[in-house]
Amino acid sequence: MKHSFLIKYAEIALKGKNRHLFEGALVQQIKYAVRSLDGDFEVKRTQGRIYVEGEGDAYEEDVIDALKHVFGIVGICPIERLEDDDFDEICRAAVAHMGANYPDMDGLTFKVEARRARKDYFKDSMEINADVGEAILDAYPWLRVDVHHPDVSLYIEIRESVSIYSKVIPGPGGMPVGTSGKAMLLLSGGIDSPVAGYMIAKRGVKIDAVYFHAPPYTSERAKQKVVDLARIISAYTGPIYLHVINFTDIQLYIHEKCPHEELTIIMRRYMMRIAERLARQNNALALVTGESIGQVASQTIQSLLSTNEVCTLPVFRPLIAFDKQEIINLAQKIGTFETSILPFEDCCTIFAPKNPKTMPHLDECLKIEASYDFESLLEEALNNIEVKFINKNSDVDDLL
């Protein structure tokens, strides 16, 4: 089974002299996306266009689904590719395309839109539109032409080869992963953080992740849930190194020593400290969280101020102005929602106080932390990290 696709992109075209770097990154991401499919696929880049071509047993729907996971793509166009630019052959291919893709033509309207990148071609775009349209009407006289609001737009591109297509399947948009540096995602088993990882990756950021595990208060099933979430989003982000931190001793120490209304914010500050150290060790330039203003006690502006104080790296919060339903809608779209709502405990909720302070004062946090020695516990946690390499195409590899 042969497949040919024209790939459309948007923002990349505005990159000026650096455009070729972004196009090259997009090509690499496309190659990664299709390499697990059953077939031999080739990704070609020409001036202003990227093509995916291959043969194998993979269905067209499978190829399209893989391409829908590649950030940077705005349109996926299944095409008829003609190496011969003979105009009679173009007309025959256009007629055949309409017949194969629109068998129920009664009342259908169409127009032809030609783009002639090769200016030496003997017909200009308007002539191609008129003559191909005439050939289609001769073959299917019950069709009607509507140049303003057609049911079908038939596109013909004349370059070094000829492409004919009429369907533009939306891609995810954004920028190719890896073109905007790397960040460390604080990944929990909840709804928000996987969506935050997806959104920051959409802007071209490569992500690794850190998960705070608290055995025996959180189970292996809770950890597996996070691994599963990382695998789901890795279909968009590429492979992820998931760093699993044993946070039990730190949480118990905080629970024993700190005023209970301050537990949430102190715990969050130490999570951010650990995440930043991991980020620096792994050449990540920022932290990413799933926080949204006012959603819980640790996400008020006052709490976020106190949390940010421990970090010198920037903290990206792509969901900061989203309401819960908007986040749920995105989680459902990217396929993480059903996993996120599995009822396994989370270390943030196991030790949550009944009445957490929603407007903590930074001076109070600093005073509490100065009274106790957390450093040895932090070092122990960082020296006993479990690292998992997570790839959508394979099982999880335990690295440490």
Task: For residue 288, give the nearest of 280, 277, 276, 300 by alpha carbon.
Answer: 276
Contact present, 124 and 180 (Cβ < 8 Å): no
CA–CA gap between residue 213 and residue 220 (Å, rounded): 9
pLDDT of residue 372: 86
Peptide bond into 216 cis (omega under 30): yes
Contact present, 288 and 197 (Cβ < 8 Å): yes
CA–CA gap between residue 108 and residue 50 (Å, rounded): 31
- Encode 173-240 in three state secondary structure: CCECCCCCCEEEEECCCCCHHHHHHHHHHHECCEEEEEEEECCCCCCHHHHHHHHHHHHHHHHHHCCE
Element (H, E) at 111: strand 109-116
CA–CA gap between residue 84 and residue 321 (Å, rounded): 53
CA–CA gap between residue 342 and residue 383 (Å, rounded): 30
Task: For residue range 40-74, list pLDDT tens digits in order.
Answer: 899 999 877 899 998 877 788 999 999 999 999 99
CA–CA gap between residue 392 and residue 36 (Å, rounded): 9
pLDDT of residue 348: 58
Task: For residue range 252-284, list pLDDT tens digits in order.
Answer: 998 888 887 888 899 999 999 999 999 999 999
CA–CA gap between residue 328 and residue 13 (Å, rounded): 32
pLDDT of residue 349: 60
Question: pLDDT under 50 in the chain at which residues?
Answer: none
| Residue corresponding to tokens 């003609």 | 82
pLDDT of residue 94: 97
| 3-class secondary structure, 52 | strand
Average pLDDT, the chain: 92
Burial class of residue 194, CB neighbours in 10 A (0-12, 13-18, 19+):
buried
How is residue 359 annotated by DSSP? S
Q: What sections of the chain are H helices per DSSP?
A: 19-34, 60-67, 87-101, 125-139, 192-202, 220-237, 248-257, 263-281, 301-308, 324-334, 337-340, 347-350, 362-370, 375-383
**What would the two tokens of residue 204 be?**
């071209």
Instruction: List beta partners, residue 3.
Output: 54
Q: What pTM did the predictor assign?
A: 0.91
How is residue 10 annotated by DSSP? S
pLDDT of residue 350: 58
Contact present, 261 and 356 (Cβ < 8 Å): yes
- Phi, psi (deg, nearest 5) at residue 5: -135, 140
Q: Can you say how many angstroms the Cα of residue 335 is from the centroid of all Cα atoms in its chain? A: 11
How is residue 262 annotated by DSSP? G
Q: Are strands 169-170 and 40-46 parallel, antiparallel or unpaired?
A: unpaired
Task: For residue 317, give the nearest of 336, 335, 334, 298 by alpha carbon.
Answer: 298
pLDDT of residue 255: 86
CA–CA gap between residue 267 and residue 351 (Å, rounded): 9
**What would the two tokens of residue 176 be?**
């190719």
